[in-house]
């Protein structure tokens, strides 16, 4: 009950800036406390990022909500997530999309997230160990791509995996500060919308950073 009350308060807070009812409903449904270390569960519904081990974080709920809302999911999409992490964003996407493919480069996080998402009953989620090349080519193209780590530029290999009419949300910039971009791929080219400043861990892989800072 304590977590439910805290979750309700968080959703009310987010609704001041997030207006997509499906995004808010997914956040209201999913127990964020399950995706953070036990010793941090009392902080699960603070609007702030939290460490999940391996120098990785679970993103601030507002950023999760913003990125999800800007994907404009209708329920028919096949989505690619780069950086499974705790699996929280993955679960949000699974509530709103037809199919979610998510890649993670850290084996311990891959195993934990896959186990938790399976326990929670998500049958439309497929967790993959990240390869040297970014993304997951076998299931491409995707109607939506979300990247939960920051790249110095928009990786061309991810643009190749994005379907015409598809949307990509990705943080782009330096190691410590970035701009959150919405990329829309059209028959006439790429349209870019800047959603504002953000801070994410570095995206590691060919077409992004080679190593962590």
Which residues are known to be catalytic? 59
Q: 18 with 66: CB under 8 angstroms? A: yes
| Collapsed DSSP state (helix, strand, coil) of residue 16 | coil
Burial group, residue 197, by CB count within 10 angstroms (0-12, 13-18, 19+): exposed
The rounded distance, in Å, linking the Cα atoms of 199 and 213 is: 14
Q: Which residue has the tokens 């491409």?
A: 140
The rounded distance, in Å, linking the Cα atoms of 120 and 79 is: 19
Sign of CA dihedral 143, 140, 170, 105: positive
Q: What is the DSSP letter of 203?
A: P
Regarding beta strands 178-186 and 125-129, do their DSSP bridges make them parallel or antiparallel, or are they unpaired?
unpaired
Q: 97 with 78: CB under 8 angstroms? A: yes
The rounded distance, in Å, linking the Cα atoms of 118 and 202 is: 27
Cα–chain center distance at 74:
17
- What Cα–Cα distance (Å) separates residue 152 from each residue in 76, 185, 213? 31, 19, 13
């Amino acid at each position: 009950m304590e977590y439910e009350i805290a979750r309700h308060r968080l959703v009310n807070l987010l609704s001041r800036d997030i207006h997509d009812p499906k995004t808010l409903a997914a956040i209201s449904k999913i127990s964020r406390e399950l995706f953070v270390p036990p010793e941090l569960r009392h902080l699960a519904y603070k609007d702030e990022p939290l460490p999940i081990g391996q120098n990785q974080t679970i993103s601030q709920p507002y950023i999760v909500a913003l990125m999800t809302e800007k994907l404009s999911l209708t329920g028919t999409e096949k989505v690619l997530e780069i950086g499974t992490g705790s699996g929280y964003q993955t679960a949000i996407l699974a509530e709103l999309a037809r199919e979610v493919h998510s890649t993670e480069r850290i084996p311990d996080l891959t195993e934990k997230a896959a186990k938790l998402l399976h326990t929670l009953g998500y049958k439309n989620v497929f967790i993959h160990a990240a390869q040297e090349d970014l993304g997951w080519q076998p299931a491409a193209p995707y109607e939506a791509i979300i990247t939960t780590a920051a790249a110095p530029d928009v990786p061309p290999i991810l643009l190749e995996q994005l379907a015409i009419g598809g949307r990509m949300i990705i943080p782009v910039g330096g190691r410590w500060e970035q701009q959150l971009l919405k990329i829309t791929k059209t028959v006439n080219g790429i349209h870019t919308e800047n959603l504002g400043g953000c801070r994410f861990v570095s995206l590691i892989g060919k077409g992004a950073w080679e190593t962590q800072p």
